[in-house]
Amino acid sequence: MGLWAAVHAERLGIKTLLVDAARIGQGASGGLLGALMPHMPDKWSEKKQFQFDALVSLEGDIAVLEAETGLSAGYRRSGRLIPLPKPHLHRIALGHSQDAERHWCHGDRQFHWHVSDTAPVDGWIDPNAGASGFVFDTLAARVAPRSLLKALVSFLGKAKHVRLVEGLQVDGIDPDNGVASTREGTIRFGRCILSAGHSSFPILDGVTSGLHSSLGQPVKGQAALLKADVDAGLPVIFRDGLYIVAHEGGLVAVGSTSENRFDDPLSTDGLLDGLLAAARAMAPVLADAEVVERWAGLRPKAIDRDPMVGAHPEHPRLIALTGGFKVSFGLAHRLAEAAVRAAAGAVCPFELPETFALSSHITVASHKM
């Protein structure tokens, strides 16, 4: 989120200092999965339209970034495969197919929610997983998280207006006086965009009055990377929280657990073993695939589950940019643009859903007991 914000700041010519407590990518964004999953196409809403527009625009934004840096972000609109184990799910999917025709269009581009009795590709998903058929949606995509971060950092390395400092933690923010404190002294700012992942929440809690509950929490996730000789263009498989994502270079990512309680935020355990077993059953081609990495991270989940973006109602110089939870990669470029434009007092070419506003989350946290 912070890297995309810095990219937009550079493009708008805003003098910017980006500080990261650790090395770039040591937070949730340095993971393995990178699935870009659309919401269901039914019950259309402002929020779904925003996500749709973001998922469509990301392709072009990444193409520009790749052209500027000469680096690949490992992006591909490879689609998504959802097995339908029960007959009623097939009926529901047919309804979603019509919803997608209605809502998933952008200019002359139409994305689909195909429903079929057999899987549209051979040798990937277990045919028995879809006893009542399969969905193949053509909107879903994937990106390689670490490759994307490298491309963003490379862009910023040549920036004229942005300076990136790693290994410097912000210990406190005095938003009204425009001061952030660090062990190496204070940083003075006109505007501060806070995109510290889940660590943003305690900082925001500390400067917000009248809260009855924290503005957000970390949710642990575990994932793994397998070495497998499969086509990188294969669709993402998704079922009940299990994601199987084929990446470039013979790598397949498997995720993710969702843990509200945990002892060690960065360890992996039997929960990941369970996911791997489910993945190998779902995609038998992975049965003997070697695990090359096990990884865990903390997702930023805002109190109202939606992203948390925008100026603090009590401290207008402080702008939140966090709460992407499980869908940050598909939204970050747009959320960051909105945050930077809010900071610069510039008009934003699109609107954010109201429930994304920091003020909306504060209202929820002020009423929740």
Ligand X SMILES: Cc1cc2nc3c(=O)[nH]c(=O)nc-3n(C[C@H](O)[C@H](O)[C@H](O)COP(=O)(O)OP(=O)(O)OC[C@H]3O[C@@H](n4cnc5c(N)ncnc54)[C@H](O)[C@@H]3O)c2cc1C
Binding site for ligand X (CB under 6 A): 1-2, 19-22, 26-29, 31, 33-35, 169-170, 195-197, 199, 221-223, 255-256, 297, 299-300, 322, 324-330
Structure token pair of residue 149: 């971060």
Minimum Å gap between C-beta 5 and ligand X is: 9
Shortest distance, position 167 Cβ to ligand X, whole Å: 9
Closer residue to ligand X, CB minimum distance, 13 or 202:
202
Please state, in angstroms and as integers, the Cα–Cα distance from residue 267 to each residue in 75, 193, 263, 296, 356, following that order.
28, 30, 9, 6, 31
Give the C-alpha separation, 270 to 268, whole Å: 7
Structural contact between residues 253 and 225, judged by C-beta atoms closer than 8 angstroms: yes
Closest-by-Cβ residue to ligand X is 27
| Smallest separation, CB 222 to ligand X (Å) | 6
In 3D, which of 226, 299, 225, 297 has the Cα closest to residue 267? 297
Pairing of strands 318-322, 192-194: parallel
Nearer to ligand X, 50 or 325 (CB): 325
Nearest distance in Å: CB 182, ligand X:
8
Q: Which is nearer to ligand X, 31 or 83 (CB)?
A: 31
Q: How far is the CB of 86 from ligand X (least distance, A)?
A: 25
We find the least distance from the C-beta atom of residue 337 to ligand X, in angstroms, to be: 14
Triad 225, 148, 300: Cα angle to 5° = 75
Name which of 24 and 115 has its Cβ closer to ligand X.
24
Q: How far is the CB of 87 from ligand X (least distance, A)?
A: 29
Cβ nearer to ligand X, comparing 54 with 115 = 54
261's CB contacts (< 8 A; 6+ apart) are: none
Q: Which is nearer to ligand X, 12 or 21 (CB)?
A: 21
Nearest to 297 by CA among 215, 201, 224: 224
Pick 117 or 171: Cβ nearer ligand X: 171
